[in-house]
């Protein structure tokens, strides 16, 4: 459905675009705005700009830009209505009844919404059950683990009643259907009669939140000594929960991670909660699953430095080894905290205290040091063949680091640690790089060939004879468009007083944007054109790119003003408009004069030649007079 303009305005006003973009990009203050790596292309140098005042973003490398709705649409693959819904819910703005005509899309959306809501109520129910008599033993268990009331509240810890249907009955009374509970993974069904029953029974409940703080799943620890039951069970894959895309504790930790510039990565719920309880609020967990690319991409929104702290046993060590190469490949600065044998982060911080853990962080190992220590424990450095294989593995890990400037540093570290000459390692490195390059080129070969063919076609396509082709908006055109977008008196002067049309612009894209600005002004006079257009999802890509480029541009007064000792007036926008229109007219005149001079070189009758000379004389005079008029008169 088409949402009313006042509703979109309210959502925008209540939404901080910096906060939204910060969930995908690590932003740093830059002047009046923010700067960060663009998430829409492989960006090594920060090129994503965010303007909180205008509520827009722009990447000056790939050209991607728009308002907060467009950012959410591009980042999360949402339609415009879905982006509006997500941001409206986040901002607490109620929406009118949806009238999406696609019944499948409506059903899918409704089921997801119901699943989110039932999980929210279920989490509150489990939390309240912890305070009842049947939850006292679980509450005592949490206290014995060192989880005080504040930390229990922060993570929403709870208790699921030891009953087959108590939670099911409660949620039914709250108005939720069994379909919603099943979609959320809260119930199971018996094979014999398809009847529903509670998935979680008699367990300590650890709600799993997404990075926005919504409950999407549960981890549940068995509180009874029953060998027939697993110690932990988790919510299944569902409409709202995908364990490979979630980091436990991120909703609670993201602000601290941004502040401290790094994250601590553990394996489990208790590890994370214990470290947060001990003062390490930047701790998250991979939730018992092997670390995934999606989890790392999620974490990279907040930091690119991570300390991996897994259990101090062989299983924990192997998990760390698997995770570190993946993290390195995703561009993370990885350090590893080696815990004593038999210790996990939870037991370590409880038994030895926060200061001991801080020292462990200070003594953390680079991935080279950690791998070498692991090889020593496994006895893999005894024989020449095994040692050679280990060295190749280390060099391969270095080769995965996206920032090649770091390669020399780590190669030297390998040489020092393994007592090798740097030249030997360089030879191995070069060999592995050639293999990687050949593989990449093989994968990209067909695509590159196709691209070259397209470029050849484009290059050989000639413009019509005599046509003046201006592919990009000129600086003067950008300034006129900026004033039209952001300064209503200038726009009225252009389209009402001067009757300027798109034909006044030399570049086609500038003319198109001007037409859109005038149309927005005519149809939405009470709203600034830049807001109206930034909400349009049907703008041509080149028009949207120009719009974002202009809104992120800076106004630079002409150096001529100082040269001619022109005092900058209070109505600076009017003066800028005059200057820009004058410059644009000069360019038009230059093109017309050049065209007439070329006509004089062809065979003409005396009458035709005199007509052209007369016209040429008038244009040259106009061109001569413009700089004088520029400094002595107003429009």
The 8-class DSSP code of residue 601 comes to T
Q: With 50 as the cut, is the pLDDT of residue 456 above it? A: no
Q: With 60 as the cut, is the pLDDT of residue 448 above it? A: no
Per-residue pLDDT tens digits for 150-175: 999 999 999 999 999 999 999 999 99
How many domains does the chain fold into? 5
Supply the pLDDT for residue 440.
Answer: 47
Whether residue 237 sits in one domain with residue 128: yes
Max avg pLDDT among 136-145, 292-301, 424-433, 509-518: 136-145
CA atoms within 13 A on the CB side of 270: 18
DSSP lists the bridge partners of residue 305 as 333
Whether residue 225 sits in one domain with residue 156: yes
Residue 219 lies in a domain: yes
Residue 266 lies in a domain: yes
- SS3 sequence, 408-465? HHHHHHHHHHHCCCHHHHHHHHHHHHHHHHHHHHHHHHHHHHHHHHHHHHHHHCCCCC
Which of 210, 241, 272 marks a domain boundary? 241
The 8-class DSSP code of residue 300 comes to T
What percent of the chain shows pLDDT beyond 70? 86
Cβ atoms of 155 and 252 within 8 Å: the answer is yes
Whether residue 262 sits in one domain with residue 136: no
Residue 407 lies in a domain: yes
Max avg pLDDT among 28-37, 65-74, 189-198, 387-396: 189-198
CB atoms within 10 A of CB 163: 14
Whether residue 277 sits in one domain with residue 198: no
Which of 216, 241, 266 marks a domain boundary? 241
- Residue of higher predicted confidence among 40 and 436: 40
- As a whole number, the mean pLDDT across the chain is 82
Whether residue 628 sits in one domain with residue 479: yes
Per-residue pLDDT tens digits for 285-309: 997 678 898 899 888 877 889 999 9
Q: With 90 as the cut, is the pLDDT of residue 138 above it? A: yes
Q: Tokens in use for 205?
A: 């409940």
Task: Give residue 496's Cα distance to chain centre.
Answer: 42
- pLDDT bin (cut points 50, 70, 90) of residue 123 is very high
Whether residue 355 sits in one domain with residue 278: yes
Whether residue 543 sits in one domain with residue 435: no
Supply the pLDDT for residue 179.
Answer: 95
Query: Which residue, 589, 39, 523, 603, is CA-closest to 300?
Result: 39
Please name the residue ranges forming H helices in 461-571: 475-486, 488-492, 508-523, 529-534, 541-552, 559-563
Cβ atoms of 304 and 333 within 8 Å: the answer is yes
Residue 97 lies in a domain: no
Query: What's this model's pTM, rounded to 2 decimal places?
Result: 0.61
Cβ atoms of 265 and 286 within 8 Å: the answer is yes
- pLDDT bin (cut points 50, 70, 90) of residue 502 is confident
Residue 83 lies in a domain: yes
Residue 302 lies in a domain: yes
> What span, in angstroms and rounded, lies between the C-alpha atoms of 219 and 124?
15
| Domain span at 582 | 475-632
> What span, in angstroms and rounded, lies between the C-alpha atoms of 623 and 401?
58
Per-residue pLDDT tens digits for 541-595: 888 888 888 887 644 445 554 555 445 455 667 778 888 888 888 888 888 888 8
Whether residue 539 sits in one domain with residue 436: no
Supply the pLDDT for residue 34.
Answer: 84
> What span, in angstroms and rounded, lies between the C-alpha atoms of 374 and 378?
6
Whether residue 602 sits in one domain with residue 522: yes
Whether residue 348 sits in one domain with residue 296: yes
Residue 369 lies in a domain: no
Whether residue 259 sits in one domain with residue 115: no
Residue 98 lies in a domain: no
Per-residue pLDDT tens digits for 170-187: 999 999 999 999 999 999
> What span, in angstroms and rounded, lies between the C-alpha atoms of 150 and 621?
81
Whether residue 218 sits in one domain with residue 132: yes
């Amino acid at each position: 459905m088409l949402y009313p303009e006042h509703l979109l305005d309210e959502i925008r006003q209540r939404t901080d675009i910096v906060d939204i973009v910060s969930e995908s990009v690590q932003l740093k203050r830059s002047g009046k705005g923010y700067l960060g790596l663009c998430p829409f292309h492989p960006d090594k140098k920060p090129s994503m700009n965010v303007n909180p005042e205008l509520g827009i973003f722009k990447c000056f490398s790939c050209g991607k830009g728009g308002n907060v709705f467009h950012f959410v649409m591009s980042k999360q693959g949402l339609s415009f209505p879905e982006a509006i819904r997500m941001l409206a819910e986040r901002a607490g703005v109620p929406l009118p009844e949806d009238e999406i005509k696609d019944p499948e899309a409506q059903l899918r959306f409704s089921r997801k919404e119901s699943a989110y809501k039932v999980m929210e109520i279920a989490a509150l129910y489990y939390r309240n059950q912890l305070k009842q008599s049947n939850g006292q033993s679980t509450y005592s268990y949490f206290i014995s683990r060192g989880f005080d009331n504040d930390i229990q509240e922060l993570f929403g810890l709870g208790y699921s009643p030891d009953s087959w249907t108590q939670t099911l009955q409660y949620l039914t009374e709250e108005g939720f259907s069994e379909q919603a509970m099943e979609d959320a993974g809260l119930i199971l069904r018996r094979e014999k009669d398809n009847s529903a029953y509670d998935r979680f029974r008699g367990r300590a409940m650890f709600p799993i939140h997404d990075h926005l703080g919504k409950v999407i799943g549960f981890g549940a620890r068995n509180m009874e000594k029953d060998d027939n039951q697993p110690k932990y069970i988790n919510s299944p894959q569902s409409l709202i929960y995908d364990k490979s895309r979630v980091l436990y504790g991120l909703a609670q930790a993201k602000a601290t991670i941004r502040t401290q510039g790094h994250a601590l990565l553990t394996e489990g719920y208790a590890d994370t909660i214990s470290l947060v309880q001990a003062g390490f609020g930047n701790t998250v967990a991979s939730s018992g699953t092997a670390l995934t690319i999606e989890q790392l991409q999620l974490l990279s929104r907040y930091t690119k430095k991570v300390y991996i702290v897994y259990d101090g046993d062989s299983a924990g060590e192997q998990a760390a080894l698997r995770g570190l190469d993946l993290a390195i490949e995703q561009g993370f600065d990885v350090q590893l905290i080696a815990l004593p044998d038999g210790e996990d982060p939870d037991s370590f911080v409880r038994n030895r205290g926060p200061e001991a853990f801080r020292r462990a962080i200070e003594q953390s190992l680079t991935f080279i040091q950690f791998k070498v220590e692991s090889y020593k424990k496994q006895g893999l450095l005894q024989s020449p063949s095994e040692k050679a294989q280990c060295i190749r593995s280390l060099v391969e890990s270095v080769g995965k680091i996206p920032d090649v400037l770091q390669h020399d540093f780590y190669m030297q570290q390998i040489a020092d640690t393994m007592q090798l000459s740097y030249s030997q390692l360089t030879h191995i490195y070069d060999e592995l790089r050639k293999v990687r390059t050949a593989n990449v080129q093989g994968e990209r070969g067909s695509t590159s060939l196709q691209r070259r063919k397209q470029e050849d076609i484009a290059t050989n396509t000639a413009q019509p004879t005599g046509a003046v082709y201006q592919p990009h908006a000129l600086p003067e055109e950008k300034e006129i468009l900026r004033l039209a977008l952001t300064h209503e008196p200038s726009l009225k002067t252009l389209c009402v007083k001067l009757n300027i049309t798109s034909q006044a612009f030399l570049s086609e894209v500038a003319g198109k944007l001007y037409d859109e600005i005038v149309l927005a002004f005519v149809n939405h006079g009470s709203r600034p054109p830049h807001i109206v257009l930034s909400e349009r999802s049907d703008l041509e890509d080149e028009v949207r790119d120009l719009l974002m480029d202009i809104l992120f541009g800076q106004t630079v007064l002409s150096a001529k003003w100082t040269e001619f000792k022109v005092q900058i007036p209070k109505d600076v926008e009017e003066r800028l408009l005059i200057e820009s229109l004058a410059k644009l007219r000069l360019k038009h005149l230059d093109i017309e004069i050049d065209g007439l001079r070329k006509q004089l070189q062809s065979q003409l009758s005396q009458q035709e030649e005199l007509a052209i000379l007369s016209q040429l004389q008038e244009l040259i005079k106009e061109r001569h007079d413009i700089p004088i008029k520029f400094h002595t008169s107003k429009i």
